[in-house]
Amino acid sequence: TWSDSHIKQIDGGRAIQLILDQNSGCGFASKRKYLFGHISMKIKLISGDSAGTVTAFYMNSDTNTIRDELDFEFLGNRTGQPYTVQTNIYTHGKGDREQRVNLWFDPAADFHTYTIMWNHHHIVFYVDEVPIRVYKNNEAINILYPKLQPMGVYSTLWEADDWATRGGLEKIDWSKAPFLAYYKDFDIEGCAVPGPISCASNPRNWWEGTAYQALNAKEARRYRWVRLNHMIYDYCTDKSRYPVPPRECLAGI
């Protein structure tokens, strides 16, 4: 998407370089949509001064007003500041469920693996196998959960200096352009659509198995560690936006 000259295949076609400059950002997408599954990507983020940029890896139903979407958005920084990853979940057109975590490593120094696990029980966002966010299926108490719309997988790099870094206070320094992000090991294991309609609920799909219906003990410990030490924003505790916490927050997300 956007400018063809801003996306390059490297390493013999095994990796992709995305380029952002004052002319254009860019992105790429899966050819098919998927209903439930496990998607992962190794990404190396923009090095140096990346303030005002957003590097993204996400799933999207591409259905406008009633879209479902599962987002990893990596918010650029001024040199020396930690990179922030923002996650968001849209279900049936309703988003505004942002959480932000400061990464505990330099994601521009090397590739790291970012994963979305989406099944009938929960959605889990992982960074190098460490869960940073869990959104449980609470349909039993009438809380919306994305399960009806297949989603494509997207990777994009764009300029968002009106909000991305310190709420828009830090602007892009175009003298540092071009900004480069790298993607490789694009892995999707899910139900491709069109496919058998029973596919999504088939218990033989490994991502629906017992081992993936809740965090195991090791994952739960890592999850608590992230929440206690690296989380910097949670919509559930933002009293200015939500004087009454959203219902899914009270139900245990």
CB 35 within 8 A of CB 190: yes
Q: Is 159 a catalytic residue?
A: no
Give the H/E segment covering residue 138.
none
Q: Is 69 a catalytic residue?
A: yes
- Sheet of 33-44: strand order equals 7-10, 15-20, 179-193, 33-44, 112-118, 122-127, 130-136
CB 159 within 8 A of CB 56: no
Give the H/E segment covering residue 84.
strand 84-90
Q: Residue 184: which of 65, 77, 19, 44 has the closest Cα?
A: 44
Q: Which two tokens stand for residue 71?
A: 């987002």
DSSP state of 235: G
Residues marked active site are found at 69, 73
